[in-house]
Amino acid sequence: MLELEDAGSIRTLRLARPPVNALDAHLLAALDAAVQAAPADGVRGIVLTGASGRWSAGLDVGVLATLDRPGLEAFLGTFFRCLLTLARSPIPIVCAIKGASPAGGAVLALYCDRRVMQRGPGPIGLNEVQVGLFPGPLIHGVLMRIVGARLAAEFLATGALLSADEALAAGFVDELADPGEEEATARRWLDKVLALPAHAYLATRALVRRDLREATEASAGPEGSVLVNAWTSPETVAAIRALLARLQRR
């Protein structure tokens, strides 16, 4: 479910839940635990990526379709706890995005220090609106933090999905890499920042990510309630079922 590989002081975590590394409660909990454990193991930086040449298709729609209100509350609680762990991480995390990164997959990427994406069609984006889901105010704020208010408003309200080149131009991702080179490119960036004076780098990193941590700490509980209310509406339940039916026909 989660592959681990160490090279020196850098640990690579690979989401490994075939076929598309969709995020269920077990994978989210495993990622949460692995990120929390890394510093105590002497890890100084994390590459977060996906196994089998894929990143993540986002939250598992098949799971969402089966959940009642208490189940959805528990699932979203696990999701937001994982995001909070990423936001609080005392060591840098760079993601290596291989292929498509919609919805929850894009959210994970936005919580990393840096985003390296495979060249090509992608796509990447917060496409919740396209499939009938409300993304919520925290995700809006996290996207706005990366691409600015104008682009965040456009992308989120339309559920836009961007190619790698479009994502780079918008600032959604920071760097592109040829297929197969995503992890190596991510490690090179970590090598550079880990060569900086550690006390100054880590203190400054904590400063520039404080807004992300504080926004997530303040919003995680209320955000879950907002999404539970929105995602249990008859319209949203119907939209999720329709999406699942389309996916099953492929």
What is the pLDDT at residue 122? Answer: 85
CATH class of the domain comprising 2-198 = alpha beta
Rounded distance between C-alpha atoms, residue 189 and residue 101, angstroms: 21
DSSP H helices, 96-180, are 104-110, 137-147, 149-158, 164-170
Rounded to an integer, what distance in angstroms lies between the CA atom of residue 137 and that of residue 11?
32
Asked if residues 128 and 151 have their Cβ atoms less than 8 Å apart, the reply is: no
Q: What distance in Å separates the CA atoms of residue 139 and residue 134, rounded to the nearest whole number?
A: 10
Query: Per-residue pLDDT averaged across 2-11, rounded?
Result: 97
* Res 117 pLDDT > 70: yes
Q: Is 22 left (phi over 0), alpha (psi -120 to 50) or beta?
A: beta
Q: Is the separation of the CB atoms in 54 and 14 below 8 Å?
A: no
Average pLDDT value for residue range 129-150: 94
Q: Are 32 and 85 in contact (CB under 8 A)?
A: yes
Average pLDDT, the chain: 94
Asked whether the predicted pLDDT for residue 168 surpasses 90, the reply is yes
pLDDT digits (tens, 9 = 90+) for 204-223: 999 999 999 999 999 877 77
Structure tokens at 115: 């985003």
Distances (CA, A) of 126 to 108, 133, 136, 245: 11, 10, 11, 21
What would the pLDDT profile of 26-74 be if each residue is shown by its tens digit?
999 999 999 999 999 999 999 999 998 899 999 998 898 888 899 999 9
What percentage of the chain has pLDDT greater than the value 90?
Answer: 80
Res. 113: pLDDT tops 80: yes
For residues 207 and 10, give the distance between their C-alpha atoms in angstroms, rounded to a whole number.
22
Indicate whether 119 pLDDT > 90. yes
Which of 180, 217, 204 is closest to 86 using CA atoms?
217
193 burial via Cβ count (<10 Å: 0-12, 13-18, 19+)? middle
Question: Tokens 């936001």 identify what position?
Answer: 87
pLDDT computed for residue 52 by the predictor: 84
Distance separating alpha carbons of residues 37 and 31, to the nearest angstrom: 10
- Residue 225, pLDDT score: 86
Q: Which among 146, 179, 194, 180 has a CA at the least distance from the CA of 11?
A: 194
Give the pLDDT band (50/70/90) at residue 14.
very high
Backbone region of residue 246 per phi and psi (left: phi > 0; alpha: psi in -120 to 50; beta: other values): alpha
Residue range 139-164: mean pLDDT, rounded: 97
For residue 32, which of 68, 79, 93, 97 has the smallest C-alpha distance?
A: 79
**Distance between CA atoms of residues 46 and 94, nearest Å:** 6
Query: What is the number of residues in the chain?
Result: 250
